[in-house]
Amino acid sequence: MIRRYILGLILALALVGALVSPAIAATSQNVEVTATPSYISISNAPTAWTVNGITGSGVLTINTTYYSNPLGDTIEPSDPVVDGECRFTITNTSSVATDLTVNFPHFTGGDAMQNSDDGIAGVGEFGAFSYLSGVNYSTGKVIAKNTGSLDLKDGLAATTDVKWGLTCITQTDVWTSGTPMTSTVVITASAD
């Protein structure tokens, strides 16, 4: 009888303990957070152009328009421009849409033509444009200024490559030497 009484007491205490003690549960959870940064990256090939050097002699004539057109240095691209009229290819590995801008700085060395920034050649000044495959050359070319050019392409989709070209209109007055001039054109991609 005492055994039953002790056993009953133990069961009663176990029941009361179960009712009073908190339930066993997880008190924390983990959340995995992934953060993918936007990434902008372009490359351009080829990396050089000799004005009037594709099918021409590489020597300039005053007040002449030259194109980086593989079909011919003085052949104006068509409406619309086709890939074969574009010397350059931008390979775009960006993860977001980008805007492309082309600036054509003043030449240095020799007679050092200056960029007119309005696309019109003058005394000691050259005019310059950039153009894009798939766009009408006559209406879609963009003035390539020394700095601060408008976008050649707005909203280029991520990982989309484009073909493009340059136009250089030489100064209207004669040069005083035959020393080569150089300029480094800058193609910039920025977030759209």
pLDDT per residue over 27-47, tens digit each? 999 999 999 899 999 999 999
pLDDT at 12 over 90: no
pLDDT at 119 over 90: yes
Full 3-state SS string of 103-158? ECCCCECCCCCEECCCCCCECCEEEEEEEECCCCHHHHCEECCCCCCCEEEEEECC
When pLDDT is cut at 50, 70 and 90, the band that residue 26 belongs to is: confident
Q: Is 117 left (phi over 0), alpha (psi -120 to 50) or beta?
A: left
Query: Considering the entire predicted model, what is its pTM?
Result: 0.83
pLDDT per residue over 135-163, tens digit each? 999 999 999 999 999 999 999 999 999 99
